[in-house]
Structure formats: structure tokens, C-alpha cells
Structure 1
Amino acid sequence: MSKVSVLVVDDATFIRDLVKKGLRDHFPGVQIVEAVNGRKAQQILARESIELILCDWEMPEISGLELLSWCRAQDALKSVPFIMVTSRGDKENVVQAIQAGVSDYIGKPFSNEQLVSKVRKALSRTGKLQELLASISPKLLSSGALANDSLAVLTGGRVESAQPSAPATPVAAPLPAPTPAALRSPSPTPARAPAGRGQGQLRLPSGTMACVIKALSLKEALLVVRRGEALPQVLESAVLDLEQGEAAEIARLNGYLHAVAAFEPRPDSDWLQLTLRFVDRDPQKLDYLSRLIARGTAQKHFIPGA
């Protein structure tokens, strides 16, 4: 039986690895092909049979939207499911993708459950899901391996069957666990928000939170957020939204949490300090980030609903 092939297109290695791990954990029989941009994806699609395409929007050379339009113009690719995986969640962008023939949409950052659900739905529509599941051995199915949450593995969740490799560079000291009383009863006089270069919104798979930008470079951002009951996790994917300039442009910077620590040297600190490592390689985004750094972010604020 031929394997079910999925093409993962993204210029960010971290995102491709996250998608690949999620797919392999839940669909062990899947064959994954990857491309770093739309140009490489075209070359692959011209010579290989692909059953599903998972593609980023913003990429160098050929964007995800351009690749989608190209696919829909090819007789052999017209009916291949195409899922856009992107931080562009604005209504106008969604409409653009729908008009170009997108099959579905996954917003960054995404949880493993969201990814698996969308892929399962797309493959089911074409009959490939049954073919894929039929290729998985009964022993593997009964072992519970398909229940692994790949994002939990990456972020230190309780998955004992997989051991994440040690990070190449040391991260901040582990965050002390809060006392039950600290979680139930916030301080009657909460600390004032730390000062910084500006404000933004950090989007995580579990939700969104306002953040203060302490430092910004082409590689990473140092952020401070108010602590909640659910703590952000190291290696969790994230998107930082910033407003830029008089035209109210929104910079959507994709990344992952490289370090999480208490902002104050006490277990019940009201604030967390996060290091967000950027994964975008799109020249336009890098130029955007350069302009943000050059102009400073003191006057930049997130627009709700963007």
C-alpha cells in the first residue's frame, strides 16, 4: 500500500519540526516531505505525489498564497487539500485565502490538538485517513502511542515515552513553583506593570496575554507578562503582535519561548520574564523588525482584534 504523503512548507525550521513531530506522533504511517519556501515546494509538487499540503503564508521568494494559487491552476493539484498555517488571522487575509481555494486554516500559534484535528478532517474528506490508519500496525495502535501530545513533549509535559534532547544553549533558571495560596489569592496590592520599551500582545496556544517589551533584537525579544494560573512553557510556540507606524501596520513575529523565569526573586512573583526567540526568515519580516528596533517601540501598542 502506498504511503500517504504530506508536504510541510515553512521557512522556519522550528515550525516544520513542530508540525512533523505532531503528525508522526498521531499518524505513524505518514510520509512527510518538507520545503523551506514556495519555490522549493513547487519543485517537489512537480515530481512527487502529495496528498496534503500544510503551508505557511509569509515566506521568501514565493508566498503561501502564491503557492496556493499556483496549485489550484494545476490540473493534478486542484483537488489536493491545502491548509494554510499562519499568524495572519485578519478577516481580509482569511477571505483572500478562501478566494484562492484554501481548504482549511490553522492560526499560529497552534496546539497539537488543533493541528491533528485539521489534518484528520482534510484526509478524511479525500478518503486518505482510512488508508493511513490501515497502514498502522494494531500493536502500535493498542500501545497508546497515538495519544502522545507532541507539544507536551516539547514543552515538558507529562509524556514519559519521549525524552526531549538537551537544549544547545542554557536557559534561565527554572521558575519556582507558586504556593497554592499564591495562586488562589493574588496580592492585595499587585505590583505595578514593569516599565519597558513598549507593549504588545503575545499569542500562545493556550491564549493571549499583554506583554511589556524590555528588549528587542533581530533574534529575540525579552518580554514581561503578568503571571496567571497557567504558566507559559519553554519551547512553546508563540506569536508576538506589535503595531508599527502611523499606518497601524501589525508585525506578527513568530517564535518560541526559549526561557521562562520569575521577574522578581520570589516564588509568588506577579510577573514573568520570557525570552522569545524569533523563527521567521522572511526578508520582509526581518526588515520590519529592523525598523521596529530602529524607531523604538515606546509608542507602539497592540490593536485589539488584529
Structure 2
Amino acid sequence: MTPVKVLVADGTPSLRECTREGLEKSCLRIEVHEAGSGREARAKLESGGFDLVLCGGEMPDMKGHELLQWIRNHPVLKDIPFILLAEKGDRDEVVRAIHAGVNGYVVKPFTIEALLQKMAGVDDRFDRRRSGRFEMNGEVTFHFEGGAARGVLVDLSTGGVLALLASRGPLPRILERVLIDIRLDNGLSTAGLKGFIIRIQAAEAFQSSDQVKFAVKFQENDEGQVRELKHLVRSLSEIVS
């Protein structure tokens, strides 16, 4: 599957870097490019292949709505989705961008989760509820303050995991932080993934009353762990595709 190609154009290097790193950690197949000025953004866009533009309201040589106007008047690039990364309090720039045909906007400072929700509104390839989650066979171990619990996987994505744990013995609580070890039946594994419990549900409808279904959201994993997780999920996507 071809990666989704995104351009982040903004005059602040730290914002571009944080946005790129956050998107790369959150999305399975994404290719993020940076531009520090309007001139650089136009050159990269004309090189072709971009699926989405994330653009700040202020750049050294132009405003965000000016880049948007150039895109909308371009014979080839005019239909590229455009999300404005608006400065807090800069209502005028948001209004100008709306008149120029912006697809959406978020206000700085923003979270990657909020940005992804906005991106999913213009391109469902960024909707993690609709893609990137796969059923599989494997084992899981939850490590938490009260001990450890073993169980079976239900499904897995780069954002989290669902698992069935035996109701006998210690179990983690809602919102409790956990470390998770995963071993798939295809031989791939990873250990020590950080996350927290976001949902606990009795499992009578799934297998038997002596199991509990746990949903975990991954959070604060380092680059090596994220790479291993993506490798696991990618191996599953290749099996089902």
C-alpha cells in the first residue's frame, strides 16, 4: 500500500518536527515532508504526489491563506485538502482561509490526537477507527502495579490493543498504566509497550464468563517500540490484504 504523503508547512521548526514525529508514530503508512517557507512549500508541492497540506498561518514570506489561494488557483494542485494550523486569537486568518477554500483548521497549540481527528474529517485514511486494526491469534501479558495477567489477543493496531484476560487473579483497573508484552502466532513479538486501560467489559458475549475484555491505548512509547509495533501491525495487514 502506498504511504499517504503529507506536507507540513510552518515557520517554526519545532512545530514542524513535533507534528512530523507525532504523525509518524500514530499512522502506519505515512510520509511526512516539511517546508519552512511558502516558497519551499510551493516547490515541494509542484514536485507532485502530496495528499494533504498542513499549513501554519504565518511563514517568513507569506501567510497560510496566501499559500492556499495559490493551491486553489493551480491547475493540477487545486483539489489537495488543506488544513490550517492557526495561531491562537488570529480569527482574521481563519476567516481568510475559509473564504479561500480551506478544508479545516486547528488552533495552536494542538495535540496530535486533535489534528488526526481533523485530518480524518477530510481523508478517511487517517481515521484510525476505520482502518489499521486487525484480528489475529496470539498471546498478551499485562504488567501492572498489582501483578501480571495473561490472556489472548482480540485485535491490534498502532493505537492500541484489545485482549481477553482470565477473571481469576489480579487484574488492572480502569485508567491504570500497564506494560504489555505481545507474541503473535506467526512468531513476531514485542515487549514493554506502554499504555493505559481505557475500557473494561465482561466477556460473556465473546467466549465465557470467566474472561474480561480489556481495551488499552498505547502512549509514550519510544521510537524503537513504535517501530516494532508498526512491524507487527504491518505483518498482519500484509496477511489480510
TM bucket by the smaller chain? 0.5 to 0.7
1:84 aligns with 2:144: no
The match for 1:162 is: 222
Percent identical pairs in the alignment equals: 33
**Cα distance, 1:89 vs structure 2:** 3.6
The match for 1:100 is: 100
**Cα distance, 1:2 vs structure 2:** 2.5
Structure 1 unaligned spans of 5+: 149-156, 165-306
> 2 CA distance for matches of 1:44 and 1:51?
12
Q: CA RMSD in A?
A: 3.1
Q: Moved runs in structure 1, 4+ residues, more than 6 A?
A: none
Higher relative contact order (CA 8 A, sep 6+): 1
Q: What secondary structure, in the 3-state scheme, does the structure 1 residue paired with 2:159 have?
A: helix
**Cα distance, 1:51 vs structure 2:** 0.5
| Contact 2:133–2:157 (8 Å) recurs in 1 | no
For residues 7-44 of structure 1, the C-alpha deviation after alignment (integer angstroms, 9 at most, x for no partner) is 11112121012211221122120111111111101001
Q: After superposition, where does 1:52-91 map in structure 2 within 5 Å?
A: 52-91=52-91
| Contact 2:38–2:62 (8 Å) recurs in 1 | yes
**Cα distance, 1:3 vs structure 2:** 2.1
> How many residues of Structure 1 are paired with residues of Structure 2 in the alignment?
151
The match for 1:121 is: 121
- Write 1 or 2 for the structure with the bigger share of strand: 2
Q: What secondary structure, in the 3-state scheme, does the structure 1 residue paired with 2:3 have?
A: coil
- The alpha-carbon distance between structure 1 residues 103 and 18, as it changes in their structure 2 partners (threshold 3 A), is same
Q: TM-score, normalised by structure 2?
A: 0.54
**Cα distance, 1:137 vs structure 2:** 8.3
AA aligned opposite 1:145: T
- The alpha-carbon distance between structure 1 residues 2 and 145, as it changes in their structure 2 partners (threshold 3 A), is closer
Q: What secondary structure, in the 3-state scheme, does the structure 2 residue paired with 1:8 have?
A: strand
Q: TM-score, normalised by structure 1?
A: 0.44
- The alpha-carbon distance between structure 1 residues 53 and 63, as it changes in their structure 2 partners (threshold 3 A), is same
> 2 CA distance for matches of 1:147 and 1:54?
25
The match for 2:206 is: none
Structure 2 unaligned spans of 5+: 137-153, 162-194, 197-218, 225-241
> 2 CA distance for matches of 1:91 and 1:47?
32
> 1 CA distance for matches of 2:89 and 2:36?
22
- The alpha-carbon distance between structure 1 residues 138 and 108, as it changes in their structure 2 partners (threshold 3 A), is same
> 2 CA distance for matches of 1:20 and 1:45?
17
Q: What secondary structure, in the 3-state scheme, does the structure 1 residue paired with 2:123 have?
A: helix
AA aligned opposite 2:22: G
**Cα distance, 1:111 vs structure 2:** 1.8
